[in-house]
Amino acid sequence: MEETPQPGCVLVDVARTGSGIFWMDSLDWNGKEAVHLGRSFPPHRFDRRVMWCDNLYPLRFRVQCDSRDEWVVVIRPLSTVRAR
């Protein structure tokens, strides 16, 4: 992220292609898992998680997947979501 979001909930949107295993975790200052965001997201699709961001450390993520997979992760403040 180019900007640190305000403290509070953020949306973590993941879009991916590929059928291999896909793991994603947020990391703390020491590179240790802070928030487990999921394992094996369904292939060829979009998924969304909500996580708490308290600004104690910058948002960093570890993504593990097959080298042939394509993926993108977008982080947005919860306030950007419209109510239905």
Per residue in 4-50, pLDDT (tens digit) is: 777 888 888 888 887 777 888 888 888 888 888 877 666 667 888 88
Q: How far is CA 3 from the centre of its chain?
A: 15
The pLDDT of residue 75 is: 87
User: pTM for the whole thing?
Assistant: 0.74
Q: Residue for token digits 């593990």?
A: 64
23/1: higher pLDDT: 23
The whole-number average pLDDT for the span 54-80 is 81
The whole-number average pLDDT for the span 59-78 is 84
Q: 67: which residues sit within 8 A by CB, 6+ positions away?
A: none
